[in-house]
Amino acid sequence: MDNSDAIVTPWEVRGEVDYKELIEKFGVDPLTPDIIERLRRHAGGLHVLLRRGMFFSHRELNEWIDSYEKGVKVILYTGRGPSGNTHLGHLIPWLFTKYLQDAFKCDLYFQITDDEKFLFNQELSTEQVAEYAKENLLDIIAVGFDPERTKIFTNLTYSKPLYNVAVRVAKHVTFSTAKATFGFSESSNIGMIFFPAMQAAPCFIHQYLNSEDAHVLIPCAIDQEPYWRISRDVAPKLGYRKPAGVYSKFIPGLGSGGKMSASLPDTAIFLSDTKEKAVKKVKNAFTGGQPTIREQKEKGGNPDVCVVYSYLYSLFDEDDKAVAETYASCKGGGLVCGECKERLARKVAEFLEQHRAKRERAKGYVEKFLVRE
Ligand code: TYM
């Protein structure tokens, strides 16, 4: 990014991200009240992530809804890179994807990029990424996607169809474009350079396999957007519609600054964390509170910089009145950080417990969701 030192790429998100600036920089559009209203009409309600602005930008979402209204086949596509256990941040786009699938009753293609994590991470073997993919798959299924309409695949076990589309994409992308878009260098291995074509492939896989027109929408966090720039450039050359996208902000880590990231495990909530571990992490979170309770009561806290408040606001407290009260009461000094942390910890623990139960049930559905060659 230009006038701050934040960095947002598919592999690294660092610093304080200015989302307004990112909209300009990436050439995407803000999610306006009109589009949000169109989604509300189709879904019969607004997902909390939409209502509270976690999803903030898009590319041609209006056109995608137009397609749906005109009877063109619409499809969703999202994914996961299996480099470790799933954390809450990964879940953000998946929860939203489920909301969209329920609203538009459409097929979902879910890509697990085991090849990416093997190629980009010197420490990971193919066996390790396969193990993570297996674990991540249960978290994905646990989100509750429609088993009749969802196809989940890993690149290394569904390579033939994907590779057939990827070579067609790759032929239209020069090294110079890949370098400019992804920052590859002379020392990047050649697998890394080809990989963007593999992530672009599911934008067109349905059309390729079924010889059928379709309009794809990709829900993800904004870090993945560079892939869709390439996919959109190539689409007309292959005779396909350009994929649309809807992008979220990053849920922050529990420390001060930066997105939730598996590389900072103490400030990330993993879906595999025990209740005790997750509660402890919440209790250690960065807040906008004053150093002492007395000062907090006198001066009030600052919910605008508080991670605990941001979790309640973005995801964990769907009650508009209750969050507004939390905000006002924190600012006015009527609420101390301990109480707020307690509330969030309870909600997180409950959420993890429910997720764990769904994950157990997911074990019986793997074959229903997973497509192989
Ligand atoms: P990965 O595994 O890094 O991330 C999976 C999804 O989670 C989003 N994400 C976050 N969202 C909110 N807050 C956070 N702190 C946070 N951290 C990660 C990512 O944007 C992503 O949507 N290369 C991809 C895998 C992939 C993919 C896709 C993702 C393949 N095809 C299509 C999205 C759409 C990756 O490594 O994602």
Is the distance from the beta carbon of residue 201 to the nearest atom of ligand 1 less than 6 Å? no
CA–centroid distance, 328 to ligand 1, in Å, is: 33
CA atoms within 13 A on the CB side of 352: 20
Q: What is the bridge-based pairing of β-strands 74-80 and 55-59?
A: unpaired
Indicate if ligand 1 lies below 6 Å from the C-beta of 88. Answer: no
- Cα(320)–Cα(335) distance, integer angstroms: 17
The structure tokens listed for 62 are 């209006």
Q: What is the dihedral of CA 226, 231, 234, 240, to 10 degrees?
A: -160
pLDDT value for 2: 43
pLDDT confidence of residue 4: 56
Q: Which residue, judged by its Cα, is nearest atom 22 of ligand 1?
A: 220
> Residue 93 Cα, ligand 1 centroid: separation in angstroms?
8
**How high is the pLDDT of residue 95?**
98
CATH 1.10.240.10 residue ranges for the chain: 265-360
Strands 55-59 and 150-154: unpaired
Cα 58 to averaged position of ligand 1 atoms, centre (Å): 16
Rounded Cα gap, residues 113 and 199, in angstroms: 8
Here the tokens at position 154 are 């890993």
62-86 tens-digit pLDDT = 999 999 999 999 999 999 999 999 9
Strand ranges of the sheet holding 244-248, from the earlier edge strand across to the other edge? 29-30, 55-59, 244-248, 215-221, 74-80, 107-112, 150-154
Q: φ and ψ at 211, to 5 degrees?
A: 45, 50
Pairwise CA distance, residues 160 & 93, whole Å: 27
User: Which pLDDT belongs to residue 258?
Assistant: 86
Distance from the first to the final alpha carbon of the chain:
40
pLDDT at 192: 98
Q: CATH 3.40.50.620 in the chain, residues?
A: 7-250
Bridge partners, 110 (sequence order): 78, 152
Radius of gyration (C-alpha) of the chain in whole angstroms:
21
Tens digit of pLDDT per residue, the chain (373 long)? Answer: 444 578 888 988 888 899 999 999 999 999 999 999 999 999 999 999 999 999 999 999 999 999 999 999 999 999 999 999 999 999 999 999 999 999 999 999 999 999 999 999 999 999 999 999 999 999 999 999 999 999 999 999 999 999 999 999 999 999 999 999 999 999 999 999 999 999 999 999 999 999 999 999 999 999 999 999 999 999 999 999 999 999 999 999 999 888 999 989 999 999 999 999 999 999 999 999 999 999 999 999 999 999 999 999 999 999 999 999 999 999 999 999 999 999 999 999 999 999 999 999 999 999 999 999 8
CATH class assigned to 7-250: alpha beta
- Binding site membership of 113 for ligand 1 (Cβ less than 6 Å): yes
In this prediction, residue 276 carries a pLDDT of 96
- The correct answer on CATH 3.50.50.60 for the domain covering 265-360 is no
Q: How far is CA 28 from CA 17, 179, 215, 324, in A?
A: 15, 21, 18, 30
